[in-house]
Structure 1
Amino acid sequence: MRRLLTVFVFCISSFLFVSSCDLTEYNPGGITSETVYTTPEGFESLVNAAYSYSRWWYGKEEGWAAGEMGTDLWTSGAGDENPNFTRYESLQPNANVVGVFWEQFYSAINLCNAGINRIGESGMSEELQTTRLAELRFLRAFYYWHIVEMWGGVHFTTDETEGIQVNANKSSVETFYNQIFEDLDFAVNNLPVTTSDIGRVTKPAAEAFLARMYLTRGMDQEAFNMADKVINDYSFGLVENYDDLWEMDNLRNEEVIWVVNYSEDLALNDQEDDILFPEGHGRGGHNGHLHFFMTYDQVSGMDRDIENGRPFNRYMPTQFLLDLYQDDIDSRYDGSFKSVWYSNAPSEVEGMAEGDTAIYATKYEVSEEFREDAVYTIYDRSDIYESDGSIVQRTKYPSLDKFADPTRPSISEMRSSRDAFVIRLAEMYLIAAEAQFNRGNNTEAANYINVIRERAAKPGNEAAMRVTAADIDLDFILDERARELAGEQLRWFDLKRTGTLLERTREYNPEAGANIQDHHVLRPIPQSQIDAVQNKDEFTQNAGYQ
C-alpha cells in the first residue's frame, strides 16, 4: 500500500506578507513554476505540497494548543509553552504562534488556488485532472474552515496571489462557508471511493467532512443525512476494542476515514523544514507522544525509555475530563490514559523488582493506609488537584497515551511515524446524534450514541453503558464527545460550534476559566499583518484585541 509522500519541493508566494522563498534553497527535483504548472510530474508535486500544510497542524504541538487547549478538558503541564492558548494569558496579536498559523494556512490556500486555477496547464489526462482538482478543492475547503473558525470574516480569495500584496479584505463568514460547501460538493462528486495512497482524500472523507461542516452551520438534517451515509454506504467499521485504535501496528484500521500521514522513514518527516515547520516548531513527524506525558523519569524506579516516551509535559487533563469516565464500565479511560508505570530501574527502590509498579497516578483519593503499604510512588487526586479543580502540581498526573510510539528508534527521537487521525467513523455517529438532538429527536440521538458506548463498554457492561432519550441533552453530547475524542484536535471547535466555549471553560477549567473573555471565540489577527496592510480602515483587528 502506497503512502502519500508530501515533500515540499517548491515555493509560491503566499498571502499575506510572508517572505517568499528562493527556489534554489530547497529544490531537489529542479522544479520551477513553469514545470510545476505544465508537467504532470510538477503538478503532482504541487498537489502533494498542498497536503503538506496539514502536517503543520495535525500531530503538532501548536495544533493541540489551538485545537484542544483553553477548553474544559485541558490545562498546562509544567512544560507548557503556549499559555496564551492554554490559559488565555496575554493572547494578543503579537503572539508568535498566531502569526505562524496565519502564514501556514494562507500559504496553503494560495497553493490550492494556484493549482485549481492552473490545472488545465498541467498536461495530465482529463480524468486525473478531475481527481486532483477535487483534492485541491477539498483541501481549500479544509484550510478555509480552520481560517474562518479561528479568525472569523478575514481575507478571502479564490485567486492566486503573486508577489507582495498591500491590501486585504474583510469577507463575511457566509462567504467562506459558501465556498467551503461549493468546494466540498465538487469533491464529493469527483473523488474516488478508495485510494491506495494513504493520506489522499476520498469521496467518503469529503462526505464526512461535509457532515462536520453541515453541523457547524446548523444544517442538521443535511448533517444527519451525510453522516448516516458515511456510516452505511461504505466498508468502514468501529474497531472492536477502543484501545486497539491507537496501536502503532493497527493504524490502517477500518475506523479511519482520513488521516494526515507521516512516513515510516523518519528522514522524510523533516524537522528542519523551514517552510512547513518554521522556527523548530514542527519537530518533524507526529509528536503527540511528547506533549501529554508526565515526567515519569523524575520518579525513583523509573528511567526514561522508549516504551514510556519522551515526556515534554506540555499538557495535562483537567479534573473534569478525568471525572467524565465511568472507568469501571467504560474502557475508554484505560484506552486513553496511562495511570501505571512499571519499573525499569528497580535498584533505586528497596523491595522493587523489574516490572513492578513504580508509579500510580490516579484520579481517585488514596487512603493513607494504602499509601503507606505501597512500595511504589502514588499521586492521587489531592496530590494533583485542589477540590475546585485547580492545579496542585503540574508534573505528575494520569497521562493521555493515545499517541504513544514505542517504535521510535531511540529515547531522544522526537519524530513519530504515527498518522494523525483527522476523521474517523466514531465522529460520524456523534454528528448524527447531535444533529438528531438538534432536531428534537432524542430517541434517535440515543440510538447513535449507544453504538459508540456499546463499543466502549468493558465486557459484560454493555447494558450499563446504554443511555435513553431522557439522558440526552447538549451537555451529555459534549461529554460523550470528550470521552470519545479527547486529544483529537477538535474540542475548541466543538465548544465554539455549540456556543459553549465560554460557559464550559469557566465552569470546568479554573485556570483558563479565570482568564477567558467573550472575544476569545476568535483568535487575534497577527499584528504583523495589521501593520503591513495599507487599507487599515477596512482590514481591522478582531474585536477585543489591541
Structure 2
Amino acid sequence: MKSINIKFMNLMKKWFIIPITMISVLTISCEDYLEEKNISGLTADEYYATEEGMEALVNSCYTTMRFWYGKENGMALTEIGTDLFTRGSGMEVPAVAMYNSDLNGANTAVEFYWNRFYAALNTCNAAIGRLPDSPLAEDVKSIREGEARFLRAFYLWHIVETWGGVHLFTEEVTDIQTTAYRSSVEDFYAQIIEDLQIALSQLPATSSQGGRVTKPAAEAFLARIYLFTGQNDLAAVHAKNVINNYGFSLLPNYNALWGTNNTVNSEAVWSVNYTNNLVLNHEMDDYEGNDLTIREGGNNSHLLYIMTYDQLPGMKRDIANGRPFSRFMPTAHLMDLFDETKDARFEGTFQTVWYCNNLANAPAGMALGDTAIYATKYIVPDSESSQHLYTTIDREWTYDANDKPIVRDRFMSIKKFLEPNRQSIAQMSGIRDAYVIRLAEMYLIVAEAEMNTNPGEALQYLNVVRQRAALPGQQAAMMATASDLNIDFILDERAREFAGEQMRFFDLKRTNKLIQRVQQWNPDAAPNIQDFHKVRPIPQSQLDAITNPGDFPQNPGYQ
C-alpha cells in the first residue's frame, strides 16, 4: 500500500504568537530530499496555484502528526504524570511527570508542541482557504478539503485539550502576528465539530494511500469529540456506525496488534505512517537562516518504556530486547490493573522475562537462552529468589510500601512498541505505524456513552473488548457485570487496552478524574498536582512576544 512520505523544504520561519508556515513540499514517491533552493523563482502563491503545489500543501497538513505520535515528548505530555506512568531514570522532561515548579512557560516540550500545532493549524487554514481556487479536479478538491478539515479539527483538539481556551483562528496567516486573543473551549469544539461534519460528508470510505484520512476516521474522531463534549447519544451513534458500516473488525488476538508488520489491519481505523526507508523517517527541524537541522525521526516509542536490562548479569543490548532509554516506567497501579491469569493484555503489554544473551558476564552455570532476568509485580521472598541464577526484579526492588519508585532503571518494561526488525542495536528510528484510532476505542465509547441510560447495551459493547482480551478458556471469567459498570471501571479498561497509546492525560481530564487518580495512584506526582494542571502552561516566549498581554495572560497557576 502506498503511503504519504513526508519531506520538507523551507519548513518554517521563526515566529511570534502565530507561527507562519512557509512552503512545505511533501511528495508521494521521491527518493531524495529537495535542496533548499528556489531555482524556479516561484513564489508560494504561484506554487500553490498549481496542482502539484496544492497537493503538496494538503500533504503538508499531515506533517505534525509525525512530531507527536510515537515521539518522546508527545508521549510525555499524554501518558506520564498520570495514574499509569511516571518518570524513569532517563526521562529528560521530569517536570511533566512531577508537576513541580519547573513545569512552567519555559518548559521545552510544551513550547515545542505549541509551535508545532499552531504551525500545523496555519497550514490547514492555508489549504482550506486556497482549495476553492485551485486547479484540482472538483472531486479531488472535495476530498482534499475533507482531509484538511479533519486535520485542522485534530490540531485544534490537541491545542484546546493541552492549553484550554487559547487563540483560535481559521484564516491563513501570512504575516507575523503579535497580538492574540482567547477563545472559549466551547468555540474550539464548535469549530472542531463543524470541520469534522464537513470532512465526514466529503471523504471517501477508503484510500489506496495508507495514512490518508478517510470517512471512517472522521466518524470515529467525531465520536470521540462527542464523548469529550458530553453529547453521549451522538457519541454512541457515530461509534456504532464505525463498528458496523465500514468493514472493520477486532483482531482475534490482542498480541497480534503489536507485530511491526501487522499495523495495517482490520482494527486500525487511522494510523500515522512510518516507513522502513529510514531516510524518509528523518525530520528536518526549525528553519534557521539557511540551515535545516536533521533529527532522527521514525516511531521512537520502542526506546522509551524499556528498563536498562543490558546492565544486568547475563545480558547485553540486542535488537530483540530493544535500546533501553528508560525514559518512562509503569506505576504499580498499572501493573495491578491486570489479572494476568485471565487477561492476555498483561502478557501483550509487559515484558517480564529476559533470556541470557551474554555469557561473558553471566553467573556460573547460566547458559545462553536461560532466564537471566525475571520481573514481577509481586514480592518474591529472598529465600526463593536466592535459589535462582537469574536476577529477580520484584515489587520491593522497584517500589516502596506506598508504591513510590525507589529505583527507576529496573522495572517491568512495556514491550508492545518493540521494534525487532531494526537494522542495528543503535537504531532509534522505528518503522511501525502509530495507531491513532483503533476499533476497540469505538466499543469503549459506546460502553461509556450508554452506561447510565442503556446499561445492558453498554455491557454488551464493553464485553466484546474484554472477551477479545481473554486468555483461552477465560472468556466467561472476563465478562463484566452490571455491578462493574461505572466510570472508574471504564477508565481501568481503557488503561488495560490503550496503555502508552497517547490518550491517558486527555481521558482523565475529560472524566474529571485526573487529580483524584494521580493522587491515589502516582506517588511521584501526588504531592504537587493541582486543579490548574489540567492544562499546560503557555510558552513564555509567546507571552513575551505579544503586544496585548492583558488580553492573553498565562494560564492560571503557572509562573
Is TM more than 0.5 here? Answer: yes
TM-score (norm 2): 0.94
- SS across alignment from 1:134: helix
1:347–1:353 CA contact under 8 A, matched in 2: no
Q: Choose the corresponding residue for 1:244, options 256, 273, 277.
A: 256
CA distance in 2, matches of 1:194, 1:415: 28
Paired residue for 2:210? 198
Deviation at 1:6, TM superposition (A): 2.0
Assess, with a 3 A threshold, how the Cα gap between structure 1 residues 29 and 146 changes in structure 2: closer, same or farther: farther
Q: What's the CA shift string for 1:286-334, capped at 9, x where partnerless?
A: 0001110000000110110111110100000000000000001100010
Q: How does 1:179-194 map to 2 (within 5 A)?
A: 179-194=191-206
Indicate whether 1:514 and 2:515 are aligned.
no
2:242–2:442 CA contact under 8 A, matched in 1: yes
- SS across alignment from 1:249: coil
Paired residue for 1:5? 5
Deviation at 1:233, TM superposition (A): 0.7
Indicate whether 1:91 and 2:103 are aligned.
yes
- SS across alignment from 1:321: helix
CA distance in 2, matches of 1:377, 1:108: 48
1:152–1:173 CA contact under 8 A, matched in 2: yes
CA distance in 2, matches of 1:45, 1:424: 28
Q: How does 1:351-430 map to 2 (within 5 A)?
A: 351-430=365-444
Assess, with a 3 A threshold, how the Cα gap between structure 1 residues 22 and 203 changes in structure 2: closer, same or farther: closer
Assess, with a 3 A threshold, how the Cα gap between structure 1 residues 289 and 28 changes in structure 2: closer, same or farther: farther
Indicate whether 1:283 and 2:279 are aligned.
no
Cα RMSD (Å) of the superposition?
2.0
Q: Which has the higher helix share?
A: 1
Q: What's the CA shift string for 1:10-62, capped at 9, x where partnerless?
A: 44666625487799973699674134311111111111111011111101000
CA distance in 1, matches of 2:137, 2:540: 44
Note the residue ranges of structure 1 that are not aligned, 5 or more in a row: none
Q: Which amino acid aligns with 1:26?
A: E
Q: What's the CA shift string for 1:141-193, capped at 9, x where partnerless?
A: 00000000111111011111112111111111111111100000000010000
Q: How does 1:8-407 map to 2 (within 5 A)?
A: 8-11=8-11, 16=17, 18=19, 26=36, 32-89=43-100, 90-274=102-286, 283-349=296-362, 350-407=364-421
Deviation at 1:253, TM superposition (A): 1.1
Deviation at 1:84, TM superposition (A): 1.4
- SS across alignment from 2:67: helix
Percent identical pairs in the alignment equals: 50
Q: What's the CA shift string for 1:216-235, capped at 9, x where partnerless?
A: 00000000000011011111
Assess, with a 3 A threshold, how the Cα gap between structure 1 residues 86 and 243 changes in structure 2: closer, same or farther: same
TM-score (norm 1): 0.96
CA distance in 2, matches of 1:80, 1:280: 23
Q: Which amino acid aligns with 1:399?
A: S
Assess, with a 3 A threshold, how the Cα gap between structure 1 residues 36 and 328 changes in structure 2: closer, same or farther: farther
CA distance in 2, matches of 1:279, 1:461: 54
- SS across alignment from 2:476: helix
CA distance in 2, matches of 1:76, 1:189: 43
Q: Which amino acid aligns with 2:60?
A: A
Q: Which amino acid aligns with 1:155?
A: H
1:443–1:468 CA contact under 8 A, matched in 2: no
Note the residue ranges of structure 2 that are not aligned, 5 or more in a row: 25-33
2:105–2:539 CA contact under 8 A, matched in 1: yes
Count, aligned residues: 544
Assess, with a 3 A threshold, how the Cα gap between structure 1 residues 190 and 42 changes in structure 2: closer, same or farther: same
Q: How does 1:466-545 map to 2 (within 5 A)?
A: 466-545=479-558
The answer to which of 514-523 and 266-275 deviates more is 266-275
Q: Which amino acid aligns with 2:7?
A: V
Q: Which amino acid aligns with 2:444?
A: L
Assess, with a 3 A threshold, how the Cα gap between structure 1 residues 184 and 21 changes in structure 2: closer, same or farther: closer
CA distance in 2, matches of 1:213, 1:4: 26
CA distance in 1, matches of 2:279, 2:294: 17
CA distance in 2, matches of 1:223, 1:280: 42
CA distance in 2, matches of 1:366, 1:184: 52
Indicate whether 1:440 and 2:453 are aligned.
yes
Deviation at 1:272, TM superposition (A): 4.7
